[in-house]
A and B are shown apart, each in its own frame.
Chain A
Amino acid sequence: MADRSESSTPNAAVRVWLPIVALAWILPGAGHILQKKTTRGFLLAASVVFMFLFGLMMRGAFFEPMGGDLLTIIIYYGGFIGNIASGVLYILAVALGYNQPDVAGHVHDYGTKFLVAAGLINVLAMVDAYEIAVGKKS
């Protein structure tokens, strides 16, 4: 738990917020729960986890970094960053062998977007956990 007098300064020490943000990345919602924002933490965790699980169940594809023209780079690197932002969910899915090829079909397409969106929601949760840790929010 961050010390209030220390964390409310504009340049709060990295050691105050970095462990919280790192935990919030690895375990969605954990950054809030660690700071005693339990309800918000569980709601964010549920949003990220269910979004990710629906993405898997719709057989969405993970992005992999790919070079090429500018649009290709933005889409594939952006998608990859969105995927890894899900933390342990992405790591577990890859480690357990989930490897869905990118195939045509609206369900697969929605699944791919759900997998990226889960990571982007977790990025919002990480930013919120950071703001709580440095005293910008309660």
Chain B
Amino acid sequence: MPKVNLSHLEAALLFALFTSIALGIVTKKTDAERIHYGLYCFGAFIATLFGLAWLMKLGHG
């Protein structure tokens, strides 16, 4: 099994991608709703990721 060294950003993006796909599929009833909700979840993950990153940076002064 090869070893991969992902950065924080790469790992978080992969996590957001896979989780958003699953959440979109299992929570909605039509394909259009699933795609829309999956994209919404992915966007929410990214926004939270950058929001928390800036919060920590500003918190450190």
Contact = CB atoms under 8 A, between A and B. Distances in A.
Interface size class of B (residues with CB under 8 A): 10 to 19
Nearest to A137: B29
A110 interface: yes
B32 to A, nearest CB: 14
* Chain A interface extent, by class: 20 to 34
Contacts of B25: 40, 43-44, 125, 128
Contacts of B2: 57
B19 A121 contact: yes
B22 A47 contact: yes
Contact of B22 (A56, A98, A113, A121): A121
A117 interface: yes
Contacts of A48: 18, 22
A59 B3 contact: yes
A77 interface: no
Given A59-B3, A137-B29, A138-B29, A114 B15 contact: yes
21 contacts: A43-B21, A43-B25, A44-B25, A44-B26, A47-B21, A47-B22, A50-B18, A51-B18, A54-B4, A57-B1, A57-B3, A58-B3, A58-B11, A59-B3, A98-B1, A106-B8, A110-B6, A110-B8, A113-B15, A124-B26, A127-B26
